[in-house]
Amino acid sequence: MSKSIYMKSKEEVLMPELMAYTLAKLGSYEWNRTEMYNPNRIYEKPAGFYFRFHNADQLYEELKHCIQHFKGNLEWMIYVSPLTKNQNYVIEPADVHHAKQTEAYQVNLELEEVLQDSYKEICEQAIQDIPLLCNHIEQWFGLEHKQLHAPTIPN
């Protein structure tokens, strides 16, 4: 098992963990899924980051503004997951989010069927965008030389 992102230097962070590492410089997590995708099965599902900061209401709006200004292979977005009771947030490609809103997805929960021919390309482009998006976030918020915030355990 690899060591926690909190014990790694940026050079040691694996690509699927890069968003978790970057955003830990911005705020303290109450909860997150560290890996954005499975590096051994990149077509299993498109890359996305699922998380919740501790006491960070305004931070989400600032992060939304930052992500809207990112220019990568894909358009990205941040939103509150409708599937959680704890206000968990998701950062993922806009095409993936829009596909999840379709009736076809609601019926069978198969993104590949909804996105069809673009599915594999979206998976690949999302992975290519991760370091670019993380660099954009670091520059936007001036995080290049910041330390990671330790996670917060909710009461």
Residues in the chain: 155
- pLDDT value of position 154: 67
At residue 1 the predicted structure's pLDDT band, cuts being 50, 70 and 90, is: low
Tell me the pTM: 0.92
* Confidence check: pLDDT of 37 > 70: yes
- Give 3-state DSSP helix, strand, coil % of the chain, rounded to 5: 45, 10, 40
- pLDDT value of position 91: 98
Give me the mean pLDDT over the 124-146 stretch.
97
Dig out the tokens for 150 from the structure: 């330790």
How deeply is 115 buried, as exposed, middle or buried, from its count of CB atoms within 10 A (0-12, 13-18, 19+)? Answer: buried
